[in-house]
Amino acid sequence: MLTLLCRETPELPAEVFFTQTQMRVLRHFASRSRLAESGNLGLAERAMAILGGYLYRKNAPPPGHQEIWEGWARLTIMSEAHELRDSFEPPALASQEEP
């Protein structure tokens, strides 16, 4: 569904399909990989496909279902890890005072 939606309407905002956490992960990945900011659905799909093994080249065909699926699986894991990291609070350090 995502593959076809991105081919038909790539200019839609990416928030239509992706959660806020997934968008943060994709933006971070795009900035680290020197890709365009993933603000619309087409760019977010491309970043996710690259996570799935898509080789983004000048004359490459659009990403297929396999790259999208692999990218979705990796994005899901990365997003869950990101949420887990944000919810973790380090334990308070014990006081160094002696009684």
Looking at the domain assignment, is residue 92 inside a domain?
no
pLDDT at position 74, please?
Answer: 96
CA 42 to CA 47: how far, in whole Å?
9
Q: Residue length, the chain? A: 99
pLDDT at position 97, please?
Answer: 54
Looking at the domain assignment, is residue 28 inside a domain?
yes
Backbone angles phi, psi at 49, to 5 degrees: -65, -35
Looking at the domain assignment, is residue 32 inside a domain?
yes
Q: How many domains does the chain have?
A: 1
31, 39 in Cβ contact below 8 A? no
CATH number at residue 47: 1.10.740.10
**Which parts of the chain register pLDDT below 70?**
38, 92-99
Looking at the domain assignment, is residue 95 inside a domain?
no
63-99 residues labelled b (16+ CB within 10 A) or e (exposed): beeebbebbbebbeebbeeeeeeeeeeeeeeeeeeee
Range of the domain at 39: 2-81
